[in-house]
């Protein structure tokens, strides 16, 4: 049996797995469009299930399409170490994102198998359904249902833009499994992911040790004025676009008040959007993110007060509707320490981080000890075709994941 410090992942094998994934839903600019439970997602899922079976894992699929592959341990009663992420992408998204977490987990299993290493604990790989939330909103449906944050009925009732129900898509792809297959008897969950930001690259660090995930609250805003011809004089106008623009600036300015606070205006729609008519209505979305729930809620109140003031001064009406909320998440101190120790042993430079994006680890943290490992994103780009993480960085992060799993594997 190989010792932990002599084990090496097979980078050529991992690259080959990425090559397969990167050709399923490939876009013309080297990205991926592989939305949840589409034909592309089904093709990737089928290949992934076959890979799991080739490694001798017992495969199960639950009632929202989550795929689990279990490698048994010596102790049949021990709780599992679970590793993985998601295989779905954004439209014209990147090749790495959640895919890295799934394929690196597979490489960990392949490395253990080829070196005939037995572990005390079972090890499970997971591919969670609809993490991105692009086809079916909200995101993280698979992990949300598996951990009790969403009900199955809620998930089944979601519709995409074509009116197709989530349950219909499960049936069409053949990935509607059994509820009992959720059975998450898990002690530890570790998710490897690209950073989706520029800090590791900027600070010349090889590894990000993630302490938690920012809480997020999303809103839809409708600003209603009165549209009229551009010949109308400037005074007396009820221009929804001008008012909404001031609101966007106020939302952005809120980020200056607290460290690690982020706000995003994602959708911005103008009506009637005609060249010689000023706008009668604007609809936009924004979200507020911070690890500290009290800070986030304070900022939200400040933003809402600013929007009310701007609407009054502009003579327009403004309605604000909260559409989604998740609180901040603090990951397991035990797991964070193990990741740091193993990173030190490998002589990898690292820094502690907080994730500004939601991940399946956020919900898994509710039921087991959880942490995340980040690897650098070139230029901080993600969810776009330009998303890139070097294979050198992937090799280091996957090696770290392997060592962390082995360190935990006999802790029973």
Is 365 in contact with 224 (CB distance < 8 Å)?
Answer: no
> Against a cut of 0.75, is the pTM above it?
yes
pLDDT value of residue 4 = 64
Nearest one of 326, 328, 330, 344 to 400, comparing CA atoms: 344
The single residue listed with the structure tokens 């943290």 is 365
Q: Output the six-digit token pair for 341.
A: 């120790």
Integer angstrom CA distances of residue 208 from 22, 154, 227, 355? 24, 34, 50, 10
pLDDT value of residue 358 = 81
Alpha carbon distance 42, 399 (integer Å): 29
In angstroms, what is the C-alpha Rg of the chain? 23
Alpha carbon distance 394, 397 (integer Å): 5
pLDDT value of residue 1 = 43
pLDDT value of residue 3 = 58
* CB half-sphere exposure, 320, CA atoms < 13 A: 17
pLDDT value of residue 298 = 97
pLDDT truncated to tens, each residue of the chain (412 aa)?
445 667 999 999 999 999 999 999 999 999 999 999 999 999 999 999 999 999 999 999 999 999 999 999 999 899 999 999 999 999 999 999 999 999 999 999 999 999 999 999 999 999 999 999 999 999 999 999 999 999 999 999 999 999 999 999 999 999 999 999 998 899 999 999 999 999 999 999 999 999 999 999 999 999 999 999 999 999 999 999 999 999 999 999 999 989 889 999 999 999 999 999 999 999 999 999 999 999 999 999 999 999 999 999 999 999 999 998 989 999 999 999 999 999 999 999 999 999 988 899 999 999 999 999 999 999 999 999 999 999 999 999 999 999 999 999 988 8
In terms of Cβ atoms closer than 10 Å to its own Cβ (0-12, 13-18, 19+), residue 12 is exposed
Domain architecture of the chain: domains with CATH: 4-214+328-409 (3.40.630.10), 215-326 (3.30.70.360)
Nearest one of 347, 337, 338 to 396, comparing CA atoms: 347
Length of the chain: 412
Taking residue 33's Cβ as centre, other Cβ atoms within 10 Å add up to: 17
């Amino acid at each position: 049996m190989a010792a932990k410090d002599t084990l090496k992942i097979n980078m050529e094998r991992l690259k080959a797995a990425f090559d397969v994934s990167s050709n399923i839903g490939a876009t013309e600019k080297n990205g991926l469009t592989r939305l949840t439970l589409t034909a592309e997602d089904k093709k990737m899922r089928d290949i992934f299930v076959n890979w799991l079976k080739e490694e001798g894992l017992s495969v199960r699929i639950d009632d929202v399409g989550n795929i689990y592959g279990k490698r048994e341990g010596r102790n049949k009663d021990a709780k599992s170490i679970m590793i993985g992420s998601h295989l779905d992408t954004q439209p014209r998204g990147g090749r790495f994102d959640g895919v890295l977490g799934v394929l690196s987990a597979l490489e960990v299993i392949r490395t253990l198998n080829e070196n005939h290493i037995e572990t005390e604990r079972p090890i499970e790989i997971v591919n969670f359904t609809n993490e991105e939330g692009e086809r079916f909103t909200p995101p993280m449906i698979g992990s949300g249902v598996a951990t009790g944050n969403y009900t199955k009925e809620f998930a089944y009732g979601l519709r995409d833009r074509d009116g197709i129900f989530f349950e219909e898509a499960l049936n069409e792809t053949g990935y509607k499994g059994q509820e009992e297959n959720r059975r998450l008897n898990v002690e530890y969950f570790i998710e490897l992911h690209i950073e989706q930001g520029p800090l590791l690259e900027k600070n010349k660090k090889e590894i990000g040790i993630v302490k938690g995930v920012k809480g997020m609250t999303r809103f839809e805003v409708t600003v209603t004025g009165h549209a009229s011809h551009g010949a109308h004089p400037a005074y007396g106008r009820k221009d929804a676009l001008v008012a909404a623009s001031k609101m966007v600036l106020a939302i952005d300015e809120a980020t200056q008040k607290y460290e690690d606070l982020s706000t995003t205006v994602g959708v911005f729609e103008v009506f009637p959007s005609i060249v010689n008519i000023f706008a009668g209505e604007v609809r936009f979305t924004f979200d507020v993110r911070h690890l500290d729930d009290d800070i986030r809620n304070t900022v939200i109140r400040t933003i809402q007060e600013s929007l009310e003031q701007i609407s009054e001064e502009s003579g327009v009406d403004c309605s604000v509707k909260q559409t989604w909320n998740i609180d901040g998440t603090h990951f397991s101190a035990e797991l964070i320490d193990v990741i740091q120790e193993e990173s030190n042993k490998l002589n990898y430079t690292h820094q502690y981080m907080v994730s500004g994006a939601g991940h399946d680890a956020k919900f898994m943290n509710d039921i087991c000890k959880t942490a995340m490992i980040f690897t650098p994103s070139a230029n901080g780009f993600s969810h776009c075709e330009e998303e890139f993480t070097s294979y050198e960085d992937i090799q280091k992060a996957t090696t770290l994941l392997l060592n962390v799993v082995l360190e935990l594997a006999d802790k029973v």
